[in-house]
Amino acid sequence: MIFAYNKEQVGDTLMVITADDHGSDQTAERRSNVTRIQTVDGTVVGWNFFHISNYLTVSGNGAVELTDEQVDQLNRLIKEAGFSDVLAYDHEPKFVVGYVKTCEKHPDSDHLSITETEVDGGQTLQIVCGAPNIKAGLKVVVAKPGSMMPDGMMIWPGVLRGVESYGMICSARELHLPNAPTKKGILELPADAVVGEAFTIGK
């Protein structure tokens, strides 16, 4: 689940993205200051909470983090608007230190590689990566499915040249880190970086 806020560009609206819409058509139903967004098959993929500053103090620009108490308040707003849905609590870090366990060339690409990358909780994700410096044994930054990059791009499971990919291995530029190199390639972390630790990204 992604919480996003950009008062300057969007206005005083908190956007909550709960699922990938896979590019399908959507319908929106607004009640009071709450709008529920669904695909045509009825899957809820997001919410808009208008005039959110009347109810919550939201700081940040782009992807933001909310406390459990703030999620409780959003659920109260949903209920008061007459919807029966409930937002779940999500405490998983979206950007973590990963370890590239294996790296093999993509069978249908001259620049893509297929990795098995360990993230938090001992979980291993298959991630397709196009960076020239990707290789087994690296410590890297992984954007897991359900994350939002600093430029607003959302990361969901996908298929690249016929191979499933669950996340993205990031470069310093994509993370908006200061003094990021212009040379193409993923960010290589020190060998003593702890796999599974949350990684703080730029805005």
Say whether both 97 and 142 belong to one domain.
yes
Nearest to 13 by CA among 45, 52, 46: 52
User: How many C-beta atoms lie closer than 10 Å to residue 168's C-beta?
Assistant: 24
Same-domain pairing of 64 and 152? no
**Residue that terminates a domain, selected from 51, 80, 109:** 80
For residue 99, the cross-strand partners are 118, 139
**Average confidence (pLDDT) per 10 residues, the chain, 203 residues:** 89 94 90 96 95 92 90 97 93 93 94 96 94 96 93 91 95 90 90 94 62
How many domains does one find in the chain? 2
**Where among 45, 80, 115 does a domain terminate?**
80
Q: pTM for this one?
A: 0.82
- CATH code, domain carrying 160: 2.40.50.140
| Full domain range(s) for residue 44 | 2-80
Per-residue pLDDT tens over the stretch 129-148:
999 999 999 999 999 999 99
Same domain? 159 vs 98 = yes
